[in-house]
Amino acid sequence: MKLLFLLMAVTRFTLAESPAVSPEPPNSPATVMLRGKNLTVSYDARIILSATILNEPSTFYFREVKDSVNGKVFHAFTITSNDGSSLTLEGTITASLQSFPCEENRATGSTFIRHSVGLSHSLLNRAVYDREKDWSLSVEQANTLILPQSSSADQNEFKITVKGREICFLFKPRYYQKHRELSYFEPWNYKVWEKPVVGWCSWYAYFDKVSADDIMRTADVLSEILKPYGLEYMQIDDGYQQETSYPEKWINANEKFPQGLPALSKYISNKGLKPGIWTNVAFSDRSWAFSNRSLFVRDTNDEPAKGRWVGYVMDGSNPSTLDRLIRPIYRNFRETGWKYYKLDALRHLRYEGYNSNTAYFERKKADRVEAFRDVVKAVREEIGKDNFLLACWGIRPELTGIVDGCRIGDDGYGLRTLTQYNSFNNVVWRNDPDHIELKEKAAYPACMVTSMTGSLFMLTDKPATYKTAIVEAAMRSIPVLFTLPGQIYDVDPSASMYLDRVGSELSGSGVRIFDARLTSPYTHFLLEINKSYENWMLLGRTDESRHSMSFAELGLYPDKEYLIFEFWTKKFIGTFKKEFGLDLIDPKYNCQLFCIREKQNHPQLLATNRHISCGGLELEELSWNNNTLSGISKVVANDKYTIYIFEPDGAIFNGFNCRGAKLLENTINGKIRAITIMAENEEMVNWEITY
């Protein structure tokens, strides 16, 4: 029962109705009261910290300061020992169901890119962030332990223990909105997209030469090979439209799509996939623009303004523009079954279109940022909140709260981009690192890291690729689990530190200084899996810059013993305390994924082969009782499902039974038993191993 609430909590975080009814929280300090040993911290008419100092009041003193800089409120308070002896504070942090433990201070925080499925138990955590109210409460110094404690219908509780000669707390209201400078971040008005987003995009496979036949052939292959593993969306990219022009040129496809877009949407749907479509906000038809001048931004000669990549600039501040040029396209696409929308050229509309024509908006007394937002709002209103909307490309902070995902970097998949804006993922929106090509050197690390970070996962190969062995990289990485960031700072801040320059860009040609880049010195990724039956750690390694790893820096207990299993090679690394060495990376995979589990005093599950989460995806139940290890696994039809078991000294195998699948193989190699089963249908399989 102690851990059961973890799943309940993350489910409520992701599946709860939009928190629009939640009132806007104040941008003000908390109220701190210290009476004897008892400390309470209140914010927005709610106690968020209730704690007791175990030392006598005569042994410590209290200090407090409140400050505000450009709308950023800082509220610090300290409890300091009189004589330098250690103090101990124990208490409870109470926050909404959208709260989670994390790190807030980059100066002292981890440089691994951390995410968790469920509420984190990491020893690295020094803070709690509450997304619903957008506040953070962190411990700036002293030894700190923050662990999930309980969950009720409307709140999470975290146990906090702090020890040190000086205990310093820092409270920051409006954390992402003010301190991270996301002025449109109002999480009390919207929810993040909670479902896995895994699919295929036609762009790098076919570019703008794509045809209806290409899409149908690919749909056939995706439906057969990757849909059973979790691929859900199929998105047509640039190449189907007649022209980037008025609605009829979008809705009525070109000659490469003779049956029309509605028929293609139906074909994709009939394959069990969700249809997705690319559009952009450019307008290239000169004669139409000049015949309808009032719908466009106009230059000093009162003619439709033109910008590179965006063409004639549609005026988002004019409701008629939205009604005639935007809404009909997306209303039609929604009515004909499209479920995923990639909205492109947004950077060019903002930079070449609106920033470059500030005089026009000043003459109109219109806000150019609001005009930009109104274009995307119109798209959002027409497609509805139940369909996915991706902003493309480059970071788009002004679209916070409107779009579900954002391409955070340049064209082309960026493994290292996921070390930048890591704190935005599944808090602000879902990060998009661009489409994954299953190329020899990139396939496994790209699929692994995208899945580990809970990012948007879109493949983009020709269908023949998915009939080769390299498809395993995708099969074992999808679907993507919903993750929470382990840091609310960016591990690599070299892009986000320039976010305030978005409003001064005049060109979208190439990477802007605040767009996530393809280079970064950070190469290691952590994913915690927190289930009702067990918690474990996954370490993703994408280069050989490190030769050893300590458990302390991973947020694990250095005095405990851990089992380590490498997922891709299916190799048992060994049993370790304090630290373990890192071998060379197998060139077949170009990455490593270590599953790290605390050693028990009985036979225990080490990993499964279904998914990189090593059981976190498909293993519904797991227990050890009466000398029997049993579990319930959701398996893929006709897929060999292998369970890896660690058997300590003295364990004597007695038998294996399962219901719903056939036993194919049972082998032992040292202390590792591998049991492989297969089911003819996708179903829940009950299995048990007796000793």
- Among 132, 157, 189, give the residue marking a domain's end: 189
Question: Could you tell me what percent of the chain has a pLDDT over 70?
Answer: 97
Instruction: Assign residue 251 the CATH number of its domain.
Output: 3.20.20.70
How confident is the model at residue 21, as a pLDDT? 54
In a domain, 592, yes or no: yes
Same domain? 418 vs 532: no
Same domain? 181 vs 205: no
What's the whole-number mean pLDDT along residues 173-186?
Answer: 98
Same domain? 494 vs 560: no
Same domain? 464 vs 530: no
Specify the higher pLDDT residue, 162 or 18.
162
The one-letter amino acid code at 487 reads Q
How confident is the model at residue 10, as a pLDDT? 40
pLDDT tens, position by position, 386-436:
999 999 989 999 999 999 999 999 889 988 999 999 999 999 999 999 999
| Distance (Å, whole) CA 109 – CA 92 | 22
Long-range pairs for 376-382: beta carbons < 8 A, 24 or more residues apart: 376/343, 376/346, 376/402, 376/403, 377/402, 378/316, 378/322, 378/326, 378/327, 378/330, 379/326, 379/330, 379/341, 379/343, 381/327, 382/326, 382/327, 382/329, 382/330, 382/331, 382/334
In a domain, 516, yes or no: no
Same domain? 584 vs 565: yes
| Distance (Å, whole) CA 612 – CA 478 | 8
In a domain, 512, yes or no: no
Same domain? 573 vs 469: no
- Is 8's pLDDT higher than 60? no
Which residue range forms the structural domain that includes residue 39? 4-189
- pLDDT band for position 682 (cuts 50, 70, 90): confident
pLDDT tens, position by position, 565-589:
999 999 999 999 999 999 999 999 9
Same domain? 112 vs 79: yes
Task: State whether residue 552 is helix, strand or coil.
Answer: coil
Question: What is the CB neighbour count within 10 angstroms for residue 565?
Answer: 21
- Residues with Cβ within 8 Å of 35's Cβ and at least 6 positions away in sequence, in order, are none
pLDDT tens, position by position, 350-370:
999 999 999 999 999 999 999
Same domain? 303 vs 385: yes
- Among 189, 206, 229, give the residue marking a domain's end: 189
Helix (H) or strand (E) holding 79: strand 72-81
- Is 3's pLDDT higher than 80? no
Same domain? 208 vs 300: yes
Same domain? 368 vs 237: yes
CB 433 within 8 A of CB 458: no
In a domain, 81, yes or no: yes
- Among 142, 171, 189, give the residue marking a domain's end: 189
In a domain, 513, yes or no: no
In a domain, 514, yes or no: no
- Is 4's pLDDT higher than 70? no
pLDDT tens, position by position, 463-498:
999 999 999 999 999 999 999 999 999 999 999 999
| Distance (Å, whole) CA 220 – CA 340 | 19
In a domain, 515, yes or no: no
The one-letter amino acid code at 455 reads S
Q: Domain total for the chain?
A: 3
| Distance (Å, whole) CA 477 – CA 525 | 14
- Is 12's pLDDT higher than 70? no
How confident is the model at residue 118, as a pLDDT? 97
Question: What is the CB neighbour count within 10 angstroms for residue 34?
Answer: 18
What's the whole-number mean pLDDT along residues 590-618?
Answer: 98
Same domain? 632 vs 565: yes
Same domain? 183 vs 214: no
pLDDT tens, position by position, 86-107:
999 999 999 999 999 999 999 9
In a domain, 181, yes or no: yes
- pLDDT band for position 260 (cuts 50, 70, 90): very high
